[in-house]
Amino acid sequence: MARWQPHASDRLVVAALELFEERGYENTTVIGIAERAGLTKSTFFRHFPDKREVLFGGDTMAGLLAAGIADAPADAAPLEAVAH
């Protein structure tokens, strides 16, 4: 993807989540996230102060939890729904 395409922040979140899943949080770098999103490290830092904020800043984590709960089976216990 070219750098000038819109939605850089969303692209960074998607790239980060993919890399966290593939490599784990500790083995994922800001540069790796930026490269996966087709952006530069500078662009990453325009949107997020560090990689932790990709998950916990804004609505990313809340959105992931809500989606997991919504997709869980109706008979799932609360912790099972959150884990889903």
Tokens 């540069």, residue located: 31
1: in domain = no
Our count of domains for the chain comes to 1
Q: pTM of the entire structure? A: 0.69
20: in domain = yes
57: in domain = yes
Name the DSSP class of 27: T
Range(s) of the domain holding residue 69: 8-83
Tokens 């530069």, residue located: 40
Task: For 49, list phi and psi in degrees, rounded to 5.
Answer: -75, -25
Q: What share of the chain is helix, strand, coil (3-state, %, to 5)?
A: 65, 0, 35
Tens-digit pLDDT profile for residues 15-72: 998 999 999 999 999 999 999 999 999 999 999 999 988 887 777 667 777 777 788 8
Residue 59 maps to which CATH number? 1.10.357.10
46: in domain = yes
Name the DSSP class of 20: H
3: in domain = no
SS3 39: coil
2: in domain = no
